[in-house]
Chains A and B, each alone.
Chain A
């Protein structure tokens, strides 16, 4: 494995990285300027993570990196060498949908579905953070995920249901 340190400082060549994506070790060869989002989509064919704005403004590219929700468009793949990434492809248990996936279906929490992978990854991160409790707090904590179809209130309904169930579990 090539380590990205001094020895490679004057080389623009692609770097070899290792990521653990959805529990599977993956090696990819990327140039330094490839975002994590493009690395996932174009190099690993994980196209569930969406590119909405590519500038940090919409949340469609949200993934969970080392346990935290982040925007994959505003970080470089090379910066995440060695990280553990979870994308929408990795949250179900085989054919058994993740509770948030089920709740999104039950609450009709999408129309076109483009924002949905980011919404769900963001909601997983939010629930794990255990900070937002009330509906108002959840809305604020989810405000980094825009839905241009306007499914927002159903999205919050779906998240609240799963969150409450977690609280009582």
Chain B
């Protein structure tokens, strides 16, 4: 690792102060992504501002509007196992627990999870061109080995995927990200937080470099009766998703009152298509209706040399996951739902 300075911020104001006007300062929370990238010299920093000792934003609490607020500095493990999350937002618990390993979840924070960077192999290899790592150098994945890359929302500059599991559930739940910075506080709907690569693939999201995520709000509706998270990957634990699906359904008299379907592993951000969710409204929760929705969600998907399989895989994963959401018991550990 290259040399850098380090300071512990004792409050949010101090953290902002430390980073102000220093493009090369980075906040550090759990460190599980940042330290890895620093070791590879993919990210550089002359200053790390440790935000773990800020006294606020370490809680998960109910809000007066019926929702729940997740402090940005709460670990992924404490979030997944929190009684409020297990009981009211089990989709979020499942998605978090499908990611990384127990040790990493004990370290990783909620804020850091949103800001983790892609796992594109070329991004991780400084010997190869990569527009995300070094803007303007080209994309090695488009003509290279691209099995894990995106099939939706790609651009001619970058076909990387955003690798988070937690964020797929947050997209389905329509969370809101609360931010603070030198210019004050602001909030962003989850759908607006991450970006598509377009011609600025070096930007993963719309957070400014001197801004801090302080919390994430979950709306009241948690889909605690009918939900499912399905993660398909090369080994059944401790691997990133090839395709993942978060489904939340609200049912009434065997009709779908509301449906949320978000996909991971397919794009530069969690993927949701509201038209497909609207289509499911007032329909019966059948395989054929879910299959029609899946077609709408994958509309326009384009594969590259090694990843076209993801398109069919995603469609089937959507149908299977929506069927599993009808009976969440079917996804208890050890259960092997088959369709």
Contacts and interface: CB of A to CB of B under 8 A. Distances in A.
Interface of A: 4-6, 8-12, 15, 31-33, 35, 54-56, 59, 62, 68-71, 73-76, 78-79, 122, 125-126, 129, 131, 134, 136-137, 139-145
Contact of B334 (A35, A79, A136): A136
Nearest to B29: A79
B238 A4 contact: no
B102 A141 contact: yes
Contacts of A31: 3
B209 interface: no
Interface string B22-46: 0000001011100110111000000
A4 B14 CA distance: 13
Contacts of A129: 102
Contacts of A54: 39
Given A136-B333, A144-B101, 6 more contacts: A9-B47, A32-B3, A69-B106, A74-B32, A74-B104, A129-B102
A78 B102 contact: no
Nearest to A142: B102
A143 B104 contact: no
Interface in B290-339: 333-334
Q: Which 4 A-B pairs have the closest CB atoms?
A: A144-B101, A32-B6, A143-B237, A143-B238
B226 interface: no
B5 interface: yes
Nearest to A68: B106
Interface in B241-289: none
Contacts of B18: 6, 9
A135 B304 CA distance: 39
11 contacts: A6-B18, A33-B1, A55-B40, A71-B103, A74-B31, A74-B35, A122-B103, A131-B81, A136-B334, A137-B334, A145-B101
B107 interface: yes
Contact count band on B: 35 or more
B165 to A, nearest CB: 14
Q: By CB atoms of chain B within 10 A, which of A62, A70, A125 has the most?
A: A70
A56 B104 CA distance: 8
Contacts of A68: 77, 106
Contacts of B77: 68
Interface in B95-121: 100-104, 106-107
A76 B35 contact: yes
B103 A62 contact: yes
B32 A56 contact: yes
A74 B36 contact: yes
B87 interface: no
Contact of A75 (B4, B8, B35, B100): B35
Given A79-B31, A136-B334, A137-B334, A11 B104 contact: no
Given A137-B333, A137-B334, A144 B104 contact: yes
